[in-house]
Chain A
Amino acid sequence: MTTAPAGPWTTGRIAEVERPTDRLVRLRLEVADRVDHLPGQHYVVRLRAPDGYTAQRSYSVASDPVDPLLELMVECLPDGEVSSFLHDEARVGDVLELRGPIGGWFTWTGEVPAIGIAGGSGVVPLVAMLRYADRLGLADRLRVVAVGRTYADLPYAAELERRGAFLALTRENHHDRVAHPPYPDELAPLVDGVERAYVCGSVGFASFATRLLGEVGVLARTIRVEQFGATG
């Protein structure tokens, strides 16, 4: 295991903002004194009020490490302090305090064949891994299962599908797949030969996905979990 010191506090200037749905905001930032990240790492965003009050939250990096901009995809939680500020207020030119990259555990650089299973905004770190894998011609070493309520709700749905991810939608039929969480027999062929599994999403989703991986024979000690998002 390698030590992964977190980068120091710095700032990022918002270069692009896009709101692909009314719940999501995609930010692309120019980061001062940027430290290269590994696919799967995250940054901390800190907001600062005029009276000195601060709020900080973690956000996974979606961009490939060679992308000149740092890309974050934030899901707006009802009444969420940081996510709703970023969703409702953030605009091009704003400067945010940032710290990162952070995390040495939930990273993948192609060293082992792997599977990633993510729910909702948990797909973000897997998007970074897929973009990285594609660029380096390692796409066959990373299989991704992305779980969302509907196609429109799932961040990066079109890109994930284009990069060969298996989409399991739970509230909407998709092509000829009837709405349902992933079934063991859908997962089984995808775990063949994998040596590591990445699970990312809400706490509830992470326990579901960890159980499912166990059912198809993935050894628990090869599973790496990152939890965030609503509990449901």
Chain B
Amino acid sequence: MPVTRGFFGRRDRRERSHRLPPGQYDAGADWPVLTAEATPVIRPEDHTMTVDGLVERPTTWSWPELQALPGSSYAGDIHCVTTWSKLGTRFAGVSVDTLLEAAGPRPEAAYVMAHSTTGYTTNLPLADVTGGRAWVVWEHEGRPLPVEHGGPARLLVPHLYFWKSAKWVTRLELMARDRPGFWEQNGYHDRGDPWLEQRYQGDP
């Protein structure tokens, strides 16, 4: 591919924060709300979480049962494909490992489809939601997660672009084969690593 005449990159590109993946800007204290769909109204007490598909023991947790699981938190950065990043933010909930341990993934399970109450779906390799890298969270900065950010509970997969962190998540479906979710059918990448700029289908 051709070199772009006159382009040398931003003067300060080498000094830019090593925490910002390429093409991202620091949103600072802002946490933009991305509304490709309507914000649903969900009472926490009605919210449940299910792990099913290719598992030994399909399991559903009620809201109190979910809260009673061993807690786990994340403090770090999040990156949205629309180019904002939010650095040093904190969430608390339960590790996806804890949920999977209870449900017992079958050996052939290799992918996950996250489903939300709105019908939104997003697909992930199982390896991206295990090993302490993914959570179901209901607290942000010590307060209940606001509904516009996915409250009562959302998936959190901070090392991937944020559309993978499905808001209002109610179900993780384990699958043997990958299947595109909502944005992925609309041309977005199946994995979405911000450091590789995996924005669209066909990106590296």
Contacts across chains A and B counted by CB atoms under 8 Å:
118
Q: Which residue of A lies closest to B40 (CB)?
A: A220
* Set of chain A residues within 8 Å of B7, measured between Cβ atoms: 47-49, 55, 85, 89
12 contacts between A and B (CB under 8 A): A6-B202, A48-B2, A48-B7, A49-B7, A55-B9, A57-B83, A81-B9, A95-B5, A104-B185, A219-B38, A220-B38, A223-B37
Q: Chain B contact residues (Cβ within 8 angstroms of A): what range?
A: 35 or more
A82–B57 alpha-carbon span in the complex (Å)? 51
> What is B's interface to A at a CB cutoff of 8 Å?
1-10, 13, 22-23, 27, 30, 32-39, 82-84, 180, 182-183, 185-187, 197, 199-202
CA distance A12 to B150 in the complex (A): 40
Beyond A3-B185, A47-B7, A228-B82, 9 additional contacts (C-beta under 8 Å) are A1-B185, A49-B9, A81-B10, A99-B200, A103-B186, A204-B32, A207-B33, A227-B34, A227-B82
The answer to whether B186 and A210 touch across the interface, beta carbons within 8 angstroms, is no
Which 9 A-B pairs rank lowest in CB-CB distance, beginning with the nearest? A220-B38, A203-B32, A104-B186, A89-B6, A6-B200, A47-B4, A81-B10, A47-B7, A105-B186
Alpha-carbon separation in the docked complex, A206 to B4 (Å): 33
Whether B5 and A225, one on each chain, are in contact in the complex, defined by CB atoms closer than 8 angstroms, is no
Q: Which of A48, A89, A102, A210 contacts B1 (CB 8 A)?
A: A48
Whether A103 lies near B187 (C-beta < 8 A) is: yes
Closest B residue to A54 by CB, please name it.
B22
In the bound assembly, the distance between CA atoms of A210 and B8 in angstroms comes to 39
Q: Would A97 and B9 count as touching, CB distance under 8 A? A: no
A204 to B13, CA, bound (A): 27
B9–A105 touching, CB < 8 Å? no
Which residues of the other chain, A, contact B83 by a CB distance below 8 angstroms? 57, 228
Known contacts A53-B13, A103-B187, A104-B185; A96/B4 CB under 8 A: yes
Across-interface contacts of A137 in B (CB, < 8 A): none
Q: Which residues of B contact A79 (CB under 8 A)?
A: 10
Query: Is B197 in contact with A11, judged by CB distance below 8 angstroms?
Result: no
| Cβ-neighbour of A231 out of B3, B5, B27 (below 8 A) | B27
Tell me if A149 is interfacial: C-beta within 8 Å of chain B: no
Q: Does A224 contact B (CB under 8 A)?
A: yes
User: How far, in angstroms, from A96 to B7 measured CA to CA in the complex?
Assistant: 11
Query: Which residues of chain B come closer than 8 Å to A105, judged between CB atoms?
Result: 36, 183, 186
Chain A residues with CB under 8 Å of B183's CB are 105
- Given the interface pairs A49-B3, A56-B197, the reply to whether A104 lies near B33 with Cβ below 8 Å is no
Assuming the A-B contacts A5-B187, A53-B9, A56-B197, are A231 and B180 also in contact, with contact meaning beta carbons closer than 8 angstroms in the complex? no
Known: A3-B180, A94-B5, A102-B200. A227 touches B185 (CB 8 A): no
